[in-house]
A and B are shown apart, each in its own frame.
Chain A
């Protein structure tokens, strides 16, 4: 029995290590993005090579994880899905009970590292939605939509309560995209969006004061130049002063002189915009569009509903990262803590994103053969 298990594990490991199952265009896109990220980080961090090295190490770790996950066939992933979802949601409950962190209880201290369980949901949420919809009649009925809605609401609510509105939105969006891609009728989507719009005043009521302040500050940042408005004003100055061609790599004064807050993490896009200008921004956005497009292509080629929905949802939530972060630094959206994928400094984000792409690689490797 044990011998058999051991043999199976060895076979599995050998398969992973011997035959790479990588989608080359997507891998090239990610590599390019990671390079841009490290180059920007070098400048934003004021030439701190330790910072860049640390981030590169995280990329390597993430890449290893990507390769590992790419070897797990989607059918296996599917069979694990309910457990993964339940496990990560249970961790959220643990965080709610004994989490630590200043002001926001998001972290679990494992002793050797601090770990944010809400990151896991970024992957397990779309997996769960796809898992549920996979055997069902599509487009989904109201009942199925309600079940998926509930599956989204449980972890979403727990994360929002931490409070981490940014991550809660990303997690909920990932689940919602799976639903969208499953073909929910347009009139139903319209109806739900209408109801959501009607709920906005209610949501306002439940928001924390600091969250409201952020929204209000967005409308008029100059009203509070030393307080909440500071981030938005300084970020827009950085972007705007970059112009068409930018001030040049490592020549962005806004971050150099520390005017820009959090310029290696959430606001790193502002550094990029200042130094590489509109040309750089458009190129970067095009690179993101390429990666997202490639992911959707992989989704369309996928063998079954589970793979399709999962790949599509991951692709579309990747877009949300870019859009929310870019909108934030350009003063279009309120300041919520959403990193720019592969550019913002930070381990959890890079590792969880690369795991997601590992899933995509696996789906790609197991795509249906063309007719």
Chain B
């Protein structure tokens, strides 16, 4: 039944409103009484307690920043230490005129404009009772001068703190990275409570990627202060929780030997234990001294580093992308077996040239006249291009890129460092996304020898080799092996489980590849680099073009220096071949021939590793003291451009 009144009922509404208003007022009075009740509770029932606490407000909390976790190598050698230093701190509430103070103190302790700007930013962010650092890492001279003038600056003090020190300097700059002073940008992203009193934060490398683990949690102490705000005594201390210590899987001795093997030539090397993905050495040459960055780098030093032509700040292992050249051939061969497009005994006749059926363009072998009839083992040993041109063509680009993708090419390896590059794994999709062009068969052919669009980082290749060496089981590379809660606490290992099932379905396939790679070292392109080495090594060289060529003619200039300016030299290897415990990749940005230039570096890495395993250090026996001035008799695998100069 609808009840509808045509007219409003003003009298009824007024009465209704009156009732509502009275109820509303009653509720309001109730609310105010409840509020009064709460004030009664605080001001009468708990009065004594709060009086004491208000008295105790002379008691101020003072933050104690946590000590940053230390970083060790796998054997406990200290790589990142905390050392005491002194800094200038300001208690804002005790400074009557901040601008005047800043203007005057510069005459006593020299201040950078950066120091002052940072200080002002921090000042705005900090709480009243917090001390704000003004200048870090005071010199003895600064401290002495300030001591004499201290009376002029109430609220300013020299305070000891712990600062980071990297005893190995440039040896670990690209792995451990460095910490830097917290700046305005950091303040935005960091949790202000966790970073109270902390002046430094991880900027790069392990210091950055493990910032959360290394930093720890601040503690505080309650100090009683007098009317001037000077600390009288400490009433209560809540100790900070120091950051965890980290144990890297790197061995200082291997790292050192690896770095030395480069002898200053620009490049990178990565050694991984294929059994667990632990990185044993990771080097990017040239490097820099991370200690320069800790308390603010001078602009002259910074300019020198950023303008140096060989880019010492550039982490080549992680971020450098280079065409992999022939180093991809063993992976490709394994793919041929896995997809069933090749049997090990299938042969190809290498005449020095490979032409696409029905096309006039041809692709060269790197040896004039070719290697003759080669099977899979021989093709890996001699790095016969023709064999892999055909194999790539038979696989097709889709299967090729799918297979190589499983070895981690074209994406980040997932190592525990920030800033990794993806590289490029050639594929139809990549090319379409990259240049909106369809895929051409010729591009499949040059992809077969690691040229064309390919781009890999040394770390990616080392990751792939360690998958191969580790029976095809994929595992992300790891730098941090264990954490530790305190100096005496037991180490807690960080597990690194495989990221998937083995890529090798038939162990016999892997044996063929190993056979080929062993042959590389015994009689193939890398024959001279491992003479006298006590373990059986399986390896593969690679030489990739740095620049695109303008003609497809054979290079007649065999001068090493000339070639070195044109080529990237690669060598990849693992040992012992039958039960691999180490896999190594070395890359020189400028090397004439892969095996000749990068091979000895890999050998040095393996020797130093062997020494750490208790094996007798092996005397290095390079074929010649200096690199041969002319091309070796044994033809190296040489990059071949597609159709004269179109290689991107």
Contact = CB atoms under 8 A, between A and B. Distances in A.
A281 B57 contact: no
> Which of B50, B54, B192, B196 counts the most A-chain CB atoms under 10 A from its CB?
B54
Interface string B380-423: 00000000000000000000000000000000000000000000
B61 A300 contact: no
A180 B20 contact: yes
A226 B63 contact: yes
Interface stretch (A14-22, A284-292, A341-349): A284-292
Nearest to A319: B28
B61 A183 contact: no
Interface string A297-328: 00110001100110010001001001100110
Contact of B39 (A139, A234, A308, A330): A330
Contacts of B61: 225-226
A241 B39 contact: no
A296 B22 CA distance: 8
Nearest to B220: A226
B196 to A, nearest CB: 7
Contacts of A135: 8
B193 A227 contact: yes
A6 B212 CA distance: 71
A239 interface: yes
Interface string A261-286: 00000000000010001100110010
Given A137-B8, A308-B14, A316 B44 contact: no
B25 A292 contact: yes
A107 to B, nearest CB: 19
B13 interface: yes
B36 A308 contact: no
B112 to A, nearest CB: 27
Contacts of B50: 236-237, 239-241
Interface in A130-152: 135, 137-139
Contacts of A226: 61, 63, 127, 193, 196, 220
Contact of B35 (A242, A292, A327): A327
A258 B128 CA distance: 8
Interface residues of A, number: 56
A327 B38 contact: yes
A183 B31 contact: no
Nearest to A311: B21
A256 to B, nearest CB: 10
Given A293-B25, A296-B24, A236 B17 contact: no
Interface in A235-253: 236-244, 253
Interface string B28-51: 110110011011101110110111
A181 B193 contact: no
B17 A308 contact: yes
B253 to A, nearest CB: 45
Given A240-B54, A305-B13, A326-B38, 17 more contacts: A138-B16, A182-B17, A183-B19, A236-B50, A240-B42, A240-B46, A241-B50, A258-B93, A277-B43, A289-B29, A292-B25, A292-B28, A300-B17, A312-B20, A312-B24, A316-B28, A331-B38
11 contacts: A138-B8, A240-B46, A241-B50, A281-B43, A285-B32, A289-B32, A296-B24, A312-B24, A319-B32, A326-B38, A330-B42
A-B pairs, top 10 by smallest CB distance, nearest first, are A240-B50, A241-B54, A183-B16, A240-B42, A227-B193, A241-B50, A278-B43, A330-B38, A243-B47, A319-B28
